[in-house]
Amino acid sequence: MITNKVIDTLRDRGLRLTRPRRIILDVVRATDAHPTAAFVYRRVRRRLPRVSLATVYRNLRMLAAEGFLAERADEAGMRFDGNTGPHDHFTCLACRRIYDMPARVEPGARRRLSARTGFEVLDHRTEYYGRCAACRRSRGRLSLTRQRRSNGKPQGQ
């Protein structure tokens, strides 16, 4: 659902909530699947048949830059997240789905890291990997060997 706040915020920054932007935001916020631009494009095209992938991609990046979506780089490319609140992610290695996880609160972790490195730590994320409940139920094979092989390429090539 598009709130008036989005419209106001965009207007303040000299941007308009055009129809493609509104639909793109709707599509990303309607799913918790952390879709790729190609997925969003296929969904948006149902409502806006003449839209191009380039337009969808450009607007996704713009909406993310304005803070209405989160983006995350993935080995498969860029993914977009309608959940802009603090949270962690679980990647299922069997089905490749990305799930939202509650952010892990670890009091003192940032302070300890700051003390050790001299860096000012403002934020942190935890990434979980494994097999989701649906895949465990269906006894989906976890192809860890394939995973390891593709990650284990010799360096410097």
Tokens 């129809």 correspond to 19
- Applying CB under 5 A, the span of 41-49, 82-90, 122-130, 149-157 interacting with Zn ion comes to 82-90
Length of the chain: 157
Residue 92 binds to Zn ion (criterion: CB under 5 A): yes
Residue 121 binds to Zn ion (criterion: CB under 5 A): no
Which conformational region is residue 127 in: left (phi greater than 0), alpha (psi within -120 to 50 degrees), or beta? beta
CB of 136 to Zn ion, least distance (A): 8
Closer to Zn ion by Cβ: residue 23 or 132: 132
Cβ-contact 59, 20 below 8 angstroms: yes
Residues in 5-64 at the binding interface with Zn ion, rule: CB under 5 A:
none
Please provide residue 11's backbone torsions phi and psi, each rounded to the nearest 5 degrees: -65, -40
Cβ-contact 35, 79 below 8 angstroms: yes
DSSP class of residue 86 equals S
CB of 138 to Zn ion, least distance (A): 9
CB of 78 to Zn ion, least distance (A): 13
Residue 88 binds to Zn ion (criterion: CB under 5 A): no
Q: Which residues bind Zn ion (CB under 5 A)?
A: 81, 83, 92, 94-95, 100, 132, 135
